[in-house]
Structure 1
Amino acid sequence: MDLPTEAIGSIPRSETLMQAQRQYDAGQIDAAAMNAFYDEAVQQTIRELENTGSRIITDGEQRKTHSFATYSVEGGKNFAPDGLEIPFSDGHVRRLPRLTAGPFRYALSAAETLPMAKQYTQLPMKQAIISVSALSLFYPSEAIAGYSREAFLDDLIDEQEKEIRGCFAAGAQKVQIDFTEGRLALKLDPSGSVLNSFIELNNRVLARLTDAERQSIGIHTCPGADHDATHSADVDYAELLPSLFELNAGSFYIAMAAEADPERGLKIVARYLKPWQRAFIGVIDVNNPDIETPEEVCARIMQAARYIPLEQLGTTDDCGFSPFCDDISTSRATAFAKIKARVEGTAMAVEQLASQNGVLHG
């Protein structure tokens, strides 16, 4: 049996799509024209992902307007642009939107974009969605008159449950929850209180699903990936990973290739990974422009296999590629070449592991 390998989600936008987005934002083209650009981008992305040899693919998050984090509220009338600031290691800052009034509702659900992509492929698809904990940061520090934080969180959880169920109904084989704010939470609050509240909030959503549905849910954690910079790579994994595996999900996608000491990280994963959970270990550094060889990928997998049971191991990329629409630090060609190296390196590791163990359980 094979060692599963999956991408995270985002693929860099083409210059054509980025230009169209700028024109749409400026009112120079209408929604129908913008949708045509999205369709073309999704088709091209799916075709290229198929060419990498991937067995489960995404739509590259091409329709998620400006970013993987804010797609669900863009265009919403009850938001202002001056929300929480997130600083990155190279000095640039991303700013979240700020909720100004209730009720909270999604402007766009990932369940709506999945059917638009599935028509272009026969391969299984997974859909990435942003976590409720990330969306909870949209609520301001001062209470909104007539709309308490508790009421907001109730609405937020309802919205994400509908999104997850909608993704499964639309044919998603897996739904991946992007929890990139997990490590960031420890930077904002080293006591761990914010992280614990994030874990509890996500588990409130997961508690509404069946055991079988939770096994098809994955949690993605990384230190950020934007313009080849990170927001929380300096936070020790030992502070995050024990809490991460308290999330009631079947799969975890864990950035590891760019870690200063991946062996230490793998040991922590092995210690806290529960028997019914699978760890997809990052073997591609998305912030490094150098393209890994399949041999390099294979070596990283063999290292991971020394600590993680084979039946609980998978491979992935550290993060999505260019998850913000204006990030041109990584080309599409580089992203696809890295993904292809992961697929080929994983196949190479399967052969080596099979020869060592007689048969690979995975």
Structure 2
Amino acid sequence: MGIPTEPIGSIPRPPALLAALSDHAEGKIGDAELVARQDEAIADTMARLEQAGSPVLVDGEQSKPSFVTYPLAGLTTLSPDGAVIPFADGHTRQLPCLTAGPFRYQRHAVTYLRAARGHTTLPVKQAIIAPSALSLLYPAAGVDGYSRKAFLDDLTAEAETEIRECLDAGAHAVQLDFTEGRLSLKLDPSGSVLDDFVALNNQVLERFTDAERARIGVHTCPGGDQDSTHSADVDYAGLLPKLFQLKAGNFYIQLAGEPDPERVLGIIAENLRPGVKVFVGVVDPIDPAVETPEQVRDRVLAAARHIPPDQLGTCDDCGFSPFADDTSTSRDTAFAKIAARVQGTRLASESLGL
């Protein structure tokens, strides 16, 4: 395939895993049985991605509690009253709040990568949470005996370790989920919070070589939980110029769900720098209708009028189920959309003679 195509990350969990998660929370089953159900779901996810023709696989985040909180599972120095993220339909998600230092990841994403690679010989991408998102754990009032600077030093060290471990373990690519980027402009239209996020993420990315950064990417979207977004009303024109300041080799940009994708493509073209690859979203996980391969083809060809084909890739707009309890999209629908993305990208590559 001339134009590369990759999944973003999460896939809806199968009913057996959802039941096991509920039973585990109620104490009806132990850790070992839950892990067995998770491993079955990972194997099935990767097999179905292969059947859909996906040249790059993910584990679907089947064993993550959520795309953002997986490093925190088991951390005892947290309170539940952290930052609240409001979604357009009225529901919210709330982050925990740090109560003591030092801050350490309780689980690194390399454990998910190693488990996934045991199920396939195809390339596997690993999604991780951006350090900027985890910076929101530190309370405005501070932590007694643990300064914000000390926290950020610990956070950047942990994030560097996580990325390096995944690269060393053979990840095809490591994708930083940066959904808080667009949200930050809703919470702070001045852009100063976004500037801080970009600077913090670059503190981590600068620790890698150009060759390593070619395998590191950043994903942006306006959120996608329970078929609702948290910042789709924020103009991409405020985000994208600063997004491309990130020292990553790949950018995964939600586009299919945008009301004016041509305008967004123009902004991307204005800010695109040589040597990076832009993966544009060509299927929308929030839209219940499954795109046809021809629709995807046309979206790719539209993108190719703005982005040089050798810098162009395709992806899903967002993960399909970023939180384990999100059942708004069915598993079958997710795989049907992925198959359409793969087929449509192939049709576009053929049309472009690639």
Same fold (TM over 0.5): yes
1:22 CA drift (Å): 1.9
Residue in 2 that maps onto 1:24:
24
CA distance in 2, matches of 1:309, 1:278: 9
CA distance in 2, matches of 1:216, 1:146: 37
AA matched with 1:303: A
In 2, the alpha carbon distance for the partners of 1:241 and 1:181 equals 13
Shift of 1:185: 0.6
1:100 is aligned to 99
Partner of 1:119: 118
| Structure 1 residue 25: Cα displacement | 2.1
Q: How many Å separate the matches in 2 of 1:105 and 1:22?
A: 28
Give the C-alpha shift of residue 20 in structure 1.
1.1
What is the rounded CA distance, in whole Å, between the counterparts of 1:207 and 1:259 in structure 2? 31
Supply the distance in 2 between the matched residues of 1:213 and 1:24 (Cα, whole angstroms): 39
Cα shift at 1:63? 1.2
Amino acid in structure 2 at the alignment position of 1:293: T
Cα distance, 1:26 vs. partner?
A: 2.5
Helix, strand or coil at the partner of 2:251:
strand
Under a length normalisation based on structure 1, what TM-score does the superposition of the two structures give? 0.97
Q: Does 1:9 align with 2:9?
A: yes
Question: Are 2:192 and 1:193 aligned?
Answer: yes
Cα distance per residue 1:226-254 (max 9 Å; x no partner): 01100000000000000000000010000
1:296 matched to 2:289: no
Deviations 1:119-174 (A, max 9, x none): 11010001000000000001111110000111000000111111111111211010
What aligned pairs does 1:1-362 form with structure 2 within 5 A after superposition? Answer: 2-64=2-64, 66-354=65-353, 360=354
Give the C-alpha shift of residue 107 in structure 1.
Answer: 1.0
Which letter maps to 2:105? Y
Following TM superposition, by how much is the alpha carbon of 1:28 offset from its aligned partner in structure 2, in angstroms?
2.3
Of the structure 1 ranges 175-184 and 10-19, higher mean CA displacement relative to structure 2 is found in 10-19
SS of the residue corresponding to residue 128 of structure 1 reads strand
State the Cα distance separating 1:327 from its structure 2 match: 0.8
The amino acid across from 1:36 in the alignment is A
Task: State the 4+ residue runs in structure 1 displaced beyond 3 angstroms.
Answer: none
Match of 2:142, as an amino acid?
A
Spell out, residue by residue over 1:47-89, the C-alpha distance to the aligned partner (whole angstroms, 9 max, x if none). 001111011111101111x210111102211111111000001
CA distance in 2, matches of 1:159, 1:287: 32
The CA distance in 1 between the partners of 2:331 and 2:80, in whole Å, is 29
Name the CA distance, whole Å, in 1 between partners of 2:341 and 2:112: 26
Distance 2:116 2:350 in 1: 33
Return the letter of the residue paired with 1:300. R
Question: What SS class does the counterpart of residue 205 from structure 1 fall into?
Answer: helix
How far, CA to CA, are the matches of 1:19 and 1:169 in structure 2?
Answer: 35
Tell me how far 1:333 sits from its aligned partner: 0.2
SS at structure 1 position matched to 2:275: coil
- Write out per-residue CA displacement over residues 13-59 of structure 1, whole angstroms, 9 at most, x where no aligned residue: 11211121122222222211111111111001010011110111111
Structure 1: how far apart are the matches of 2:106 and 2:44?
26
Q: Deviations over 1:288-316 (max 9, x none)?
A: 01000000000101111111111111101
Q: RMSD between aligned alpha carbons?
A: 0.8
1:92-118 per-residue CA deviation (whole Å, 9 max, x = no partner) reads 000011111111111111011211111
**What is the CA–CA distance in structure 2 between the aligned matches of 1:169 and 1:187, rounded to whole Å?**
37
Secondary structure of the 2:283 match is coil
**Superposed displacement of residue 210, structure 1:** 1.1
Report the number of matched residues: 354
Deviations 1:291-349 (A, max 9, x none): 00000000101111111111111101100001111111100100000000000000000
SS in 1 for 2:39: helix
Runs of 5+ unmatched residues, structure 1: 355-359
Return the alpha-carbon distance in structure 2 between the equivalents of residues 227 and 318 of structure 1: 15
SS at the partner of 1:283? strand
Work out the percentage of aligned pairs sharing the same amino acid.
60
CA distance in 2, matches of 1:3, 1:263: 19
Tell me the SS of whatever aligns to 1:136. Answer: helix
